[in-house]
Amino acid sequence: MVVLTKPSLGQVSLTRPQKPNHHHPPGIPVINLSEPGAEALVVRACEELGFFKVTDHGIPMELIAKLEEEAVKFFALPQTEKERVGPASPFGYGSKNIGCNGDTGWVEYLLMEITSKPMSHASLAFLTEPSASSFRSALNEYMSAVRKLACVVLESMAEGLKIEPRNIFSKLVMDEESDSVLRLNHYPPCPMPEASEGVVTGFGEHTDPQIISVLRSNDTAGLQISLRDGSWVSVLPDRAAFFINVGDSLQVLTNGRFRSVRHRVLANGLKSRVSMIYFGGPPSGERLAPLSLLMREGEESHYREFTWCEYKRCAYKTMLADNRLGQFEK
Ligand code: GA4
């Protein structure tokens, strides 16, 4: 049996508890992608929330469970073993510190770069060790399945928006050079200090910089999304489903029609939460600007053109909660 020593809260920041929301919280759209008319629901969800849940995604549960099991095994290793992976700057293992500008959370994680070459070539040397071969194969299988799912979703967005070609968005994440990331997060059960009023930040509020994020978690709650009025809605966990986030780059490509959703994760007092997220980004040199196909007559671009590489460079200088797109608004 593995016994984990109780982690200490240290300098992890607290999340201000919000006043109870008296009106009924709106539901999160649940979309079955193979259902007729799914495209229109996808577009509506991207416009209103920038977030929805996908069922009937076709990714076998075994493949998902295998990666979860490997992640749980990894996070149960002694701290010194985990740190051998190397710090997440930007790819590697991180604990409590997020990014490099002072953000902290009640979380530990592995960040991995996705390259067109199988994992052997990727950033984390430990994955090439023979003992890591089952972890590596679970990651590779999961990554290619989830990337395909991201494509199906991006193609249904294009279809719902009635723009062609159908792969106008998906080609950006399918490109050999696409700059995508896989993140495994572990939120250990958190000893709740009294001052926290039961609310400790697992991962602080932010929007994702990429085009699309595809998230899957175990059965532990914690994820919340923010509505336009600034209130937070808790997302019921569903280990069999995937959750889709619109990222900043897709907000730009649609000239603000799709909303890059602010979200955060609160720590749980009792159970640990494990999540795995694929962030689909464009190739480094890709120029991002609103698609002219989507512009109505007389509509002006809300953003100045920039390359993905330029956006990332700026993003890594910001703190999680910052409004990163603000710097690129016209
Ligand atoms: C948010 C989305 C992804 O998790 C991530 C994060 C990245 C990191 O954890 O290193 C960033 C964050 C994310 C946005 C602003 C910068 C960069 C931490 C941070 C403060 C991997 C990403 O691409 O951007």
Mean pLDDT per 10-residue segment, the chain (330 residues)? 46 57 68 95 98 97 98 97 91 96 97 75 70 91 96 98 98 96 96 79 98 98 96 96 98 98 95 97 98 96 98 98 97
Q: What is the DSSP letter of 25?
A: P
Q: What is the pLDDT of residues 287-312, one digit of tens each?
A: 999 999 999 999 999 999 999 999 99
- The CATH number of the structural domain formed by 28-328 is 2.60.120.330
Q: Which residues is 32 bridged to in the sheet?
A: 55
The burial of 29, by beta-carbon neighbours within 10 Å (0-12 exposed, 13-18 middle, 19 or more buried), is given as middle
User: Is 109's C-beta closer than 6 angstroms to any atom of ligand 1?
Assistant: no
- Per-domain residue ranges for the chain? 28-328
Q: How many residues comprise the chain?
A: 330
User: Is 252's C-beta closer than 6 angstroms to any atom of ligand 1?
Assistant: no
Amino acid (1-letter code) at residue 236: L
Nearest CA to ligand 1 atom 7: 99
The DSSP secondary structure of 173-184, one letter per residue, reads HHSTTB-EEEEE
Cβ contact 205:226 at 8 Å: yes
Whole-model pTM above 0.85? yes
For residue 5, the model assigns a pLDDT of: 41
Residues of the chain above pLDDT 90, percent: 80
CA of 297 to the centre of ligand 1 (A): 36
- Is 239 catalytic? The answer is no
What is the C-alpha separation between 43 and 219, in angstroms, rounded? 27
Of the listed 136, 264, 273, 324, which one is catalytic?
273
For residue 6, the model assigns a pLDDT of: 43
Q: How many helices (H) and strands (E) does the chain have?
A: 7, 14
Q: For 133, list phi and psi in degrees, rounded to 5.
A: -65, -35
Radius of gyration of the chain (CA): 19
Structure tokens, 265: 């994760």
User: Is 90's C-beta closer than 6 angstroms to any atom of ligand 1?
Assistant: yes
